[in-house]
Amino acid sequence: MPAEAIDLYHSLLNDQLAADTAEALYGMLRPRQLYFGDRPLCTVIRPHFYLLKDWNYFKQETEILLGAFARLHEACMEDSALRQQLDLHAYEEALFSLDKGGPVPWTSSRLDSFFHMQDRNLKFVEYNAETPAGMGYEDVLSEVFMELEPIKRFQKYYAVQSMPMQGKLLVSLMRAYKEWGGEGIPQIAIVDWSSVPTLTEHRIIRDYFERHGVKSILADPRALEYRDGKLWYEDFRIDLIYKRVLASELIQEMGINNPIVRAVKDRAVMLSNSFSCKLLAKKASLALMSDERNANLFTPAQLASIQAHIPWTRRIENRTTFYKDAPVDLVPFISKYKDRFVIKPNDEYGGKGVVLGWEVSQEQFDATLRDALTSTPSVAQERIDLIEREFPAWINERLDISPRYIDANPYVFGGHTVFGCLTRLSSVALLNVTAGGGSVVPTFILQKKD
């Protein structure tokens, strides 16, 4: 853990420098689109740091686990009985068939984890395989912090390396488009509802694509038309959709016979991430990985990685399973030891519907279990140790250095390579910006200077 570097950074601060830094930071957030809806994206004045050796371990272990996710995706595409463990909707089954024989379903994805660097304890709790957010925010926020005075002073002692990701994203999209069969440079539509709070990030990414010679627009799905064998937004021909709208919301709002699905079915447009990425975006994908009945899917090395890095997770159903090599009656066991478990709806995002067993009454927890059995497919996941780190901020006209919960969310390109990381802070145990309880900081790699 880079405790020495953190202590040094904090020692460089005083009230005046903290006030000046906060003023400079807040002055750059709005002009650079670093807002989530009406909220500033960052509220502290220190980045998150990894020493190079810690980052290399994080990257290495994540990439081993990604092999297991790829194998699980392949197995689910082939085995309808295995897919039943994911509680899929009928429309999802229909959409996944469109991906057979196509390129890798993910140009980009993101694993959400907690990484205790001091003892190399790394636990992944979710796989954002469908529409991973934050790359544009992280890139620009890193640029902003490199302009702040504390970082300039800090660089006398440490080499500071950012990890810009939008270039990786664009390269991944271009590679996937070529593998799909596209020719030349595609015109890209970043597709999402026009009301989403992440619209500012969509603009950041659109502007990056445009600066690098790729014609790009933002488009609400309801404004698209499929005509004359092409998908259009007004008079803009769309060759590649960088999909940020969730497939579930798209189908709920527009039905399965919408212009995007028709164009994808006719191979008139490339969709990324493709529909089958939703297989691993389900919360139950981690249940499939950690469940003893699916162990035959994975290699010994993958099983060891799952054992080390995936918390015990089970789809909530009436069955017997194993916990620490002992058989348990699943639902009564989870109820009895509620303080050990989190319940997560299988098909939600942004922290919606998540129940932390240690924060609710027995009655509330059992009601959630009953709902999971009857109407809202969910998983139970073993509680992990959260991580607290001190971060400085300018609060009430003074420098305040206080602990905040922190997570570690590496970005994945092409389904196998890790580069860059989303780092979220929160004063509450549910670390999620969408849920309203968190903020974001840039992530830097450090090497101490001689």
Rounded mean pLDDT of 355-364? 95
Helices (H) and strands (E) in the chain, counts: 16, 25
Rounded mean pLDDT of 333-341? 97
Contact 224, 191 (CB under 8 A): yes
pLDDT at 435: 44
Rounded mean pLDDT of 353-375? 95
Q: How far, CA to CA in Å, does 123 sit from each of 307, 398, 430?
A: 10, 36, 15
Predicted confidence (pLDDT) per residue in 270-326, tens digit: 999 999 999 999 999 999 999 999 999 999 999 999 999 999 999 999 999 999 999
pLDDT grade, residue 428 (50/70/90)? confident
pTM: 0.94
The strand ranges marked E within 220-359 are: 224-227, 230-233, 236-238, 240-243, 270-272, 313-315, 320-323, 326-329, 341-345, 355-356
Predicted confidence (pLDDT) per residue in 102-161, tens digit: 667 889 999 999 999 999 999 999 999 999 999 999 999 999 999 999 999 999 999 999
| The two three-digit tokens of residue 94, written as one number | 């229909």
Q: Residue 408: which of 394, 390, 423 has the closest Cα?
A: 423
Residue 101 has pLDDT above 90, yes or no: no
Contact 412, 110 (CB under 8 A): yes
Rounded mean pLDDT of 369-373? 96
Rounded mean pLDDT of 324-345? 97
Q: DSSP letter for 399, please.
A: E
pLDDT at 349: 76
Helices 52-78 and 300-309 cross at an angle (nearest 10°) of 120
The span from the CA of 132 to the CA of 35, in Å, is 17
Predicted confidence (pLDDT) per residue in 168-181, tens digit: 999 999 999 999 99
Q: Residue 321: which of 284, 281, 294 has the closest Cα?
A: 294
Segment holding 355, helix H or strand E: strand 355-356
The span from the CA of 23 to the CA of 306, in Å, is 45
CA 288 to chain centre: 19
Segment holding 225, helix H or strand E: strand 224-227
Segment holding 398, helix H or strand E: strand 398-406
Higher pLDDT, 352 or 75: 75
Regarding beta strands 108-116 and 188-191, do their DSSP bridges make them parallel or antiparallel, or are they unpaired?
unpaired
